Amino acid sequence: MPSDQTTCRMMPGSKVIAGSECYEIVEELGRGGMGIVYKAIQSSIQRTVAIKILAIPATEDPQLLQRFLREGRLCASLDHPNIVKIFGLVADNNGVPFLVMEYLEGRTLADILSEQKTLDETTFLQVFDQILSALQCAHDKGLVHRDIKPSNIFVTTSGTTKLMDFGIAKSNLSDSTQQGLTRTGAIFGSPGYMSPEQCSGAAVDERTDLYSVGCVMYECLVGSRPYSGDHPLEVMYKHINQQMTTTAEIAIPTHSGIVCKALAKEPDMRYNSADEMRNDLHTGPEKQPQTRRGKSAQFRISRGGIGALLAGALVLSVGIYLIPLAKDNQHHETHSARQLYKLGSNVIYRTYTATSTEGVELRRQALNYFERAVKQAHKENNINLEADALLAQETLRPEAFAKDGESIYKKANSLYVRGNRSAPAHTVSILSLARWYLRHGRPQEAIASAKDALALLRITPAYSLKHIHTQSANVLCAMAYCAVKEYAQADRYFELAIKGASTATHADIRALIHTKTIYASSLRDEQQYQKSSELIKQVIELYNRSEMAIDREQQLAEPDHQAQASYENQRQLLKEDDQRQLVRLNETLFQNDHDLKDQDR
């Protein structure tokens, strides 16, 4: 096997020699971000195997090599009928490592879903019974898979389901080999199936895998992923912030309850173990989700999203007291502000599995609780809770917030200041006010509010969404400056947003292109031809970055035919538009040069 090429693609008939053993390549079976898998014949015993080699030479990415070697060691430690078996981790005569695995005949779950969209009841139960059994084995060994998705689930022709690809698995046991490879804060996984804590780079445990299983279950039952978007970062943002408002598309109530519990934003609200989830798969879940290890359940309520109940950027961590509403007489019983707030949160949770008719009544009840919580918190001088309960009404009273949002947000902000609350609720409350100003044609006030949020973020201790809120504030500043035609300032804040991101998204770069182009045009109108040309040259360079960002996002996306076709179509349309724009930009450069000479004369 050549080790000095830029790609390690093997052709049918090629041979991999490792000592006295020879593996003859038959065909390529598939490829992912780390390796390529081939069907091969092990010559000494004429056994059909699958071999996995690195997608790029090890010398080009030492960390990739370490993850590859680590995957072999981890998989070899797992002995379970529903986990792909590793026969050995060996190196060819050039020192290039590869995994020798059992060869499986059948299809990945991704292939099955691309053909038939959903699974029938019998197949669904068989697949997830075996996957959860495999995960329990891995979790018992202290391993978190972190990349559960349809393309890593294989269904053999005999009906056996196999869990594959432990390439980015994390060990919760002591393991010096994983330092720097699976550190907290690094984000690994496939955006369509990542848990909120995984998306934000926080610490993960086995409950992260159970969230991913819930995503795959949802897709198998509904025919689409629970969250989708134009690019991976948008999907990850939704995993963190956007609550599942309904699982009505799932016809079987038992499965609906399991998926709803698995997709809880807070890990404490999910299943304790794969075995517990597997048991519910056969017996049905309890009516209310149970907390983990005696802790109070945590539930995120997000504000600002349209069409999703309390969805958006504000995350309020509140405990849910699972108290039946029938026991509460809304007009005669007295509750503390905290109890009322938790009762309102409990009603919101119930709307996720309610019909549309029931949902209207439940929203009315939730609004009643939150309104009472505001009044009671005022009486109890619980200032922060008063603000929380006030803002929790946003999607319950959209007309009021659309009309009187300024006064409502200002009141909440003043309460947070009095209560000395720094984040995250106060921060995003200020950002919500900035968005309100921008929507209502008041960009200067939007700028002031967004800058207030940035100032607060600078003195706020780290929390899971601080990075995202900082990016939002920078983008809001940029958009507001665009609205007042202060393009140099807009450019500056867009640059900050991109610089603050680990990788600039295609949408970020396009926003920057748009801003710089308008700015260049305004400079030309002011006869500053030299500066206009400098900006245009920057825009031309940004077009190349935009194309690279699409490639990067395509690599992160789930490698199914539909996603591939979507990206290829998007890439082609953008390429055609880019060509037209680049022609215009070059024409402007020529005109600037001509006008600059005239100006000199």
CA angle 183, 186, 188 (to 5 degrees): 105
The whole-angstrom separation of Cα 474 and Cα 486 is 15
Each as own residue / partner, the long-range contacts of residues 73-80 (CB below 8 Å, 24 or more positions apart, any chain) are 73/177, 74/143, 74/166, 74/169, 74/171, 75/99, 75/101, 75/166, 77/141, 78/137, 78/138, 78/141, 78/143, 78/166, 79/137, 80/133, 80/134, 80/137, 80/138
Beta-bridge partner residues of 98 = 53, 90
The whole-angstrom separation of Cα 234 and Cα 241 is 10
Beta-bridge partner residues of 42 = 23, 47
Residue 542 contacts residue 512 (beta carbons within 8 Å): yes
Active-site residue, from 4, 92, 140, 147: 147
User: CA–CA distance from 444 to each of 65, 403, 440 (Å)?
Assistant: 51, 19, 11
Question: What's the burial of 111, exposed, middle or buried (CB within 10 Å: 0-12/13-18/19+)?
Answer: middle
Beta-bridge partner residues of 302 = none
As a residue count, the chain comes to: 601
578: annotated active-site residue:
no
Torsion angles phi and psi, residue 87, rounded to 5: -85, -30
Residue 138 contacts residue 145 (beta carbons within 8 Å): yes
Beta-bridge partner residues of 36 = 31, 53
Active site positions, annotated: 147
